[in-house]
Structure 1
Amino acid sequence: MTLAASASTGSRSAIALAAVCLSALMFGLEISSVPAILPTLEQVLHADFRQLQWIMNAYTIGVTMVLMATGALADRFGRKRVFIASIVAFGAASLACGLTTSVPVLIGARFLQGLSGGAMLVCQIAILSHQFRTARERGMAFGWWGIVSGVGLGFGPIIGGTIVALWSWEWVFLVHVALSIVTFLLAASGVRESRDPEAIRLDLIGIVTLSAAVFCLAFFITQGPELGFACTGGLAILGLSVASFSAFVAVEKLSPRPMFDFSVFRIRPFSGAIIGSAAMNMSFWPFMIYLPIWFQAGLGYHSVAAGLGLLAYTLPALVVPPFAERLSLRHQPRLVIPAGLFTIGLGFMLMKLGSSAGNSNWLTMLPGCILAGVGLGLTNTPVTNTTTGAVPAARSGMASGIDMSARMISLAINIPIMGFILVEGVLSSLRKSLPIDTDAPSLRSLAETIAAGTAASSEQGVSDAIVHQALADGFGEVMLYGGVSVWLLAAASFMVFGGGRK
C-alpha cells in the first residue's frame, strides 16, 4: 500500500513537472519566436516600425505588471488555481493573436499574453518548490525546467521561421492554443493545490505605480519622434513616468511589508548581481528583436535561414551555464558576472565589425553572435544564484521577484531605445546620401521603413546601395550602444560587488 501510494505520488509529480515545463516552453517561445516573424507581420498586416516594437513590448510590459502581484495572489487563492487560470488566459490570448488581422488587436492580445505568461512564470517556481520536497527531487525538477525554458528561448527563432515558411505567421500563435489545452489537462491532474494561510494583502498601489512608470517611459521613447520629445504631451508623459516611479519608491518605503524591500540593495553581492540582471536585458535580449531584420533585410536571408543564423546567438547561452557555475564556485560571482557582461559587449563590437564589412554575411556576423551568447551563458546562472543566495532564505522569493522585474523592466525600456537608435542611425545615413532639400517628414518615414526592413529601392528614387548602407549604419549604432552600455554596467557591477570580498 505504501509502495502504491509512493508510486502514485511520483506519477502525479511527474505529470506536474510536465505541465510546468510545457508552460515554460510556451513562455520562452513567445519571447524568442515572434522576432523572427516581425518582417512578415510588417508585410502582411502593414504594421509600421513603431507598431512592430509594440507587438514585442506589449508582451514584456504585461509580464512586468504581474510578476510581483501573482505571488501574493497565488499564496492567497491557491497556486494551482492561479496557474490553471493563467494557462487558460494564455491560450485564449494566443487564439486572439492568431485570428486577428488588426495590428491594434494583435498588440492588445500580446499584452494579455504577457499578463498570463508572467503569471505562469511565477506559478511555475512556486509549484516546483512545493511539489518536490527533497533537495534531490527539487534539483532534478528545476534542472528539467531550466532545460525546457532554455529550449524555448534558444530554438524560438528557428521554430518561428520554420512555421512561417511551412504554414503561415498565425500558427506561431495558434500552436500555443493546442499546447495550452495539453498543459491545462496535465496541471489539473498533476499539480497539488497549495497556499499560504498567512498571505499578505496585495500591494495594489505598488503594482499600479511601477507599471505606470514603465509603460509611460516605454511610450515616451517609442512615440517620442512622432509626438516630439520636448513638446507638452511628450514631457507630460515623461513627467508621469517619473512621478509614478517616485510614488512607487515612497509607497514601498512606507509599507511595513513592501513588495520591494529596498534594504536588500545594501547587500553588495545582491546589488552587483541585479546590475548584471539588468545589463543582460539592456543589450542581449532586446537586440534579438531587431537582429532578424538585419539577417533578412540587410543580409538577404529568408525566414528559416535567418532563424538558423539566430541560433548562433542563442544556443551558446544553453551550453555555457554548467561551465559558468563551476567558474562561480572557483572564482566567485563578483568576477564571473562582470566578465560575462564584458564578453557580451565584446560580442556586440565584433557584430558591429561584421555588419560593416564590405561583403557582410552570416560568417562575418558569426564570431560576434557566438561570443555574445557565451557572455549571456556566463552571466545568467550566476546572476540568478547570487540574487537569491545573497539574502536570507525568508527573502529569497522577494529577491527572485526583484531579479525578474529588473530583467523585464530593462527589456521593456530597451526595446524602444534600440528602435529609436536604429531609426536615428538610418536617418543620419540618409541625410548624408540624399539631397539636402529632401522633405524631413518623408525622410523620417523612409528611415522607419528601412529600419523595419521593408523599403523598396524605388521609394523616393533611393538606390539599393543607399538603402543597404543606411540599414548597416543604423544597426552599427545599435550594436555600438549594446556593447558600450553593457561594458559600463559590467564596470558598475564589479565596483558594487567590491574589490576583494564576496
Structure 2
Amino acid sequence: MPGASRSHLLFHDPPMSSSAPRHPTLALAAICLAALMFGLEISSVPIILPVLEARLHADFQDLQWIMNAYTIACTTVLMATGTLADRYGRRRMFAFTVLAFGMASLLCGLAPSTPMLIAARFLQGMAGGAMFICSIAILSHQFPDGKARGRAFAIWGVVAGIGLGFGPVVGSAIIALASWHWVFLAHAPLALLGLALIMAGVTESRDPLARQQKLDLAGIVTLTIAVLGLTWLITQGGGLGWTSPAALGLMAVSVVGLVAFVAVERFHPHPMFDFAVFRIRDFSGAILGCIGMNCSYWPFMIYLPLYFSAGLGYGTTTVGLALLVYTVPFLVMPPIAQWLLLRYQARFVIPAGLFLIGLGFMSMKWGSGLAHLGGWTVLPGALIAGIGLGLTTTPATNMTTASVPAHRAGMASGMDVSARLISLAINIAVMGLVLVAGILAALRATLGTTLDAARLRALAEQLAGGDVAGAQQALATLALPDASAALLQAAMTHGFGWVMLYGGLGAWLTAVLSFAVFGRRQAPAARDASPRMAGGR
C-alpha cells in the first residue's frame, strides 16, 4: 500500500493462545503473496483506466471512483479487522479475507458496467485492507525472534515494493496479451494458491483478552461518512454546482460526520484515534510526512498514466515502462533513508524527502512545457519524485510508532495507515478537480466565445478522462475552425501542469510544516512524559 507502515504493531502483545507452529517458510510465502496482490491492485489498475474509459464508456468521475472505492473501503476495515482477528483467530481471518479478495476480484473482472465495477472495487478494497492487516499480524506472530522477524519483514517489504513498483508493467503486459479483465481475474488463482499456503503453513493464534475490548463501530461509521461525503463533494461538486442544495447537503454530511467522529473518539474506552498523541512532536511531524506523500506522489500515480497515454500519445506498453522511472526508486531508496535516519534524525530526513518530492513535481511541470522535445522531458522530475518518496517513507513509518510508548504503538500505527488512506482518497478527488479546472481554463481561453459553459466543462472532463478522440469528434460536429488535436493536447498539458503544481506545492507545504512541528529534538524522557501517554485514556 501507499507508504505501507509497520502495521504489525496494530496488534499488541498481551498473552496469546496459539496452535502448534507449522511451516514458517510456507507461512511467509502466503504473507508475501498477499502483499504482492495488495500492491498490484493499487498500482496496476491506473494503467488500464484509459481502456476502461473506452470499453465501459466510463466518464472522468467514474474513473476516479474506480480507484477511490478501493481506497475508501480499505479505510473502513482497518481497525475492525485487528479486533476481529485477535478475537476469532488470525489464521482463520486471514484465510477468509484472502478468499474474499479472490471472489471480489472475480466480480471486478466480470463486471459488465462501470457501476458494477465500482461496487465490486469497494468489496475488493474491504477484503484487501483486511487481508493486509491480517497478514502483518500473522507475520509478527509467526516470527517472534528478533533476527528471524527482521529477515521476514525485510523479505515482505521487498515483495510488497515489487507489487507497487512493477504493477504498471504487469498491467500493461496483461492488456497487451489479453484484456483488462485479467488485471482483476488474475488474482483469483493467486488467492487459491494463498489459501493453500495458509492452510499448510500458518499457525493459528488469538488474543485471549480481545473479547474484553469493544469494537469502535461508532468511530468506523462516522469516519467513513465524513470521508465518503467529502470525497463525493469534491468529485461531484462541479457538476452539481458548488452552491446547489445537493452540494451543500454533502458538505453538511461531511462536517457532521467529522464532528461526530471527534466526539466519539474522545469518549470511547478503546478509540481508533487518541488525539492526545498529536502532542508528541515526533509523531505529528511523521504524520505530516505521511500526508505529504499522499497529497502529491501517490494520488498522481492515478493520473500519470493518463498523461502519458492521452497527453503524450504513448501506447500501453510504453506507458508501463515510463512509469518505472516514477516507481522503481521507491524500491531502492529505503536502505539509504534508514541510514540517513540514523545519522541525521527524522526531523531533517522527512522534510528533505518531501522537499525532493515537491522538486520532482515542479521539474515535471517544467518538463511538460517542453513536450515538443519528446515525452522524456518529464522523466527526470518523475525520478526525483520517486527518490523523495523513498527517502520519506521509511523514516515516517518508523517515527509514527517509535515516538510513542510501546503500549500505544498499535494505535499510533493504525492512525498512520488511516491518515495515509484518507489523505490519498481525498487527494485523488482533489487532483481530478484541479485537472478539470486547468483543462477548462485552457479551453475557455481558446473556445470560450464559441461554446457555452456547460459544453466547455463536458469537453474538459472528457479530456481529463483521456478520451481525446471523443473530444475531437464532439468538436468536429460543431464545425469549429480552431478545433484541432494540437489545441486539445495543449489543453491537456495545461491541465496536468496545474496538477503537477498542486502536488509540488502540497509536498513543499507539508515539508515546511513537518520541519516546524518536529522542532528541536526532545529527550526520550520528555516525550514519554506527554499527558495521557503513560497510562492509556
* Pairwise TM-score range, normalised by the shorter structure: over 0.9
Deviation at residue 264 of structure 1 after TM alignment: 1.1
Deviation of 1:275 after TM superposition, in Å, equals 0.6
Counting only pairs closer than 5 Å after superposition, residues 227-266 of structure 1 correspond to structure 2 as 227-266=240-279
- Aligned positions of 1:141-156 closer than 5 A: 141-156=152-167
Aligned residue in 2 for 1:316: 329
- Structure 1 partner of 2:534: none
Cα distance in 2 for partners of 1:377, 1:105 equals 36
Deviation at 1:145, TM superposition (A): 0.7
Please report how far the alpha carbon of residue 230 of structure 1 lies from its aligned counterpart in structure 2 after TM superposition: 1.3
Superposition map of 1:172-251 within 5 A: 172-199=183-210, 200-251=213-264
1:497 counterpart residue number: 518
- CA deviation profile, 1:71-122 (whole Å, cap 9, x unmatched): 1111111111111111111000000111112110000000001000000111
Indicate if the aligned counterparts of 1:354 and 1:360 stay in contact, CA closer than 8 A: no
Give the alignment's Cα RMSD to 1 decimal: 1.3
Quick check: 2:298–2:424 contact (8 Å CA) kept in 1?
yes
Report which stretch shifted further, 428-437 or 288-297. 428-437
| Equivalent of 1:460 in 475, 496, 506 | 475
| 1:402 pairs with 2:402 | no
The offset of 1:458, in angstroms, is 3.4
Q: Does 1:57 align with 2:57?
A: no
Whether 1:164 aligns to 2:175 is: yes
1:281 matched residue in structure 2: 294
Q: Distance in 1 between matches of 2:274 and 2:303?
A: 35
Deviation of 1:39 (Å)? 0.2
Tell me by how many angstroms 1:360 deviates.
4.8
- Asked if the contact 2:448/2:456 (under 8 Å) is kept, the reply is no
What's the counterpart of residue 3 of structure 1? none
- Where structure 2 has 5 or more consecutive residues not aligned to the other structure, the ranges are 1-19, 477-482, 524-537
Within 5 A, what are the aligned runs for 1:1-400?
12-199=23-210, 200-400=213-413
Q: Which residue number in structure 1 is paired with residue 428 of structure 2?
A: 415
- On the 8 A contact 1:299/1:360 being kept in 2, the answer is no
User: Could you tell me which residue of structure 1 aligns to residue 17 of structure 2?
Assistant: none
2:439 to 418, 422, 426: 426
In structure 1, C-alpha distance between the alignment counterparts of 2:41 and 2:103, rounded to whole Å: 14
- Cα distance 1:432–1:306, how it changes in 2: closer, same or farther (>3 A)? same
CA shift for structure 1 position 258: 1.4
- Distance in 2, Cα, partners of 1:352 & 1:296: 17
Contact 2:371 2:377 (C-alpha < 8 Å) held by counterparts: no
Does 2:491 match 1:470?
yes
Structure 2 CA distance for aligned equivalents of residues 401 and 153 of structure 1: 21
TM-score normalised by the chain length of structure 2: 0.91
Which structure shows the bigger proportion of residues in helix conformation? 1
1:431-475 alpha-carbon deviations (Å, 9 max, x no partner):
001141412211111111111111223321321111000000000
> Do 1:66 and 1:115's aligned partners in 2 also have CA atoms closer than 8 Å?
yes
CA distance in 1, matches of 2:343, 2:409: 23
Contact 2:330 2:386 in 1 (8 A): yes
Following superposition, the deviation at residue 228 of structure 1 comes to 1.3
Structure 1 position 358, deviation (Å) = 4.7
Equivalent residues of 1:58, 1:114 under 8 A apart: yes
Looking at structure 2, the residues matched to 119 and 435 of structure 1 have their Cα atoms a distance apart, in angstroms, of 49
Count how many residue pairs are aligned between Structure 1 and Structure 2. 495
Instruction: Give the match's secondary structure for 2:205.
Output: coil
Structure 2 Cα separation of the partners of residues 389 and 40 of structure 1: 43
Question: Which residue of the other structure, out of 432, 447, 462, is the alignment partner of 2:460?
Answer: 447
**Overall identity of the aligned pairs, in %:** 59
SS of the aligned residue for 2:270 comes to: coil
Question: Scaled by the length of structure 1, what TM-score is found?
Answer: 0.97
Partner SS state of residue 370, structure 2: coil
Cα deviation, residue 242, structure 1: 1.0
After superposition, what is the alpha-carbon deviation per residue over 1:389-430, rounded to whole angstroms, capped at 9, x for unaligned?
111111111111110000000000000100010011001100
**Amino acid corresponding to residue 483 of structure 1 in structure 2:** G
> What is the CA deviation profile of residues 325-357 of structure 1, one whole-angstrom value per residue up to 9, with x for unaligned ones?
000000001100000000000000000011111
- Give distance in 2, aligned partners of 1:392 and 1:125: 20
Q: Whole-Å Cα distance in 2 between the matches of residues 358 and 186 of structure 1?
A: 48
Contact 1:357 1:364 in 2 (8 A): yes
